[in-house]
Amino acid sequence: MSGNKHHIGYGTYVIVWIALLAFTAITVTIAGVSLGRYTLFIALLIAAIKSALVINIFMHIKFDEPIFKIFLALSGTTILIIFVLTFVDILYR
C-alpha cells in the first residue's frame, strides 16, 4: 500500500477541475478589462489559487506526510528570498 491511506473520490477531483476551469475563465475575462496596475497582481493571485488547488488536491499534499509540507514551504521560501534580494538590486540600481 502506498504511504497515504486517504483516497480521494472521483467527485472531488471533478469539482476541483471545474473550479480550475472557472478560474481560467475569470482570469481570461479579467485580462480583457483594463485594471491598470492591478492586472498583473490579480492574474498572479488567480494563478496562485489555481496552483494551491492542484498542489493540495491533485498532488495530495494536504493528505500526505506533514514533512512534505515543510519541504514545500522551504522551497517556496527559497524562491521568495531569491526574488526579494535580486529586486533589492533591480529596484534601487
Shortest Å distance, C-beta 1 to another protein: 6
**Cα–Cα separations (whole angstroms), residue 51 to 17, 32, 72, 93:** 12, 22, 13, 33
8-state DSSP, 33: S
Q: How many angstroms separate the CA atoms of 93 and 89, rounded?
A: 6
Shortest Å distance, C-beta 62 to another protein: 13
Interface residue list for another protein (CB under 8 A): 1-3, 7-10, 13-14, 16-17, 20-21, 24, 27-28, 31, 39-40, 43-44, 46-47, 50-51, 54-55, 57-59, 64-65, 67-68, 71-72, 74-75, 78-79, 81-83, 85-93
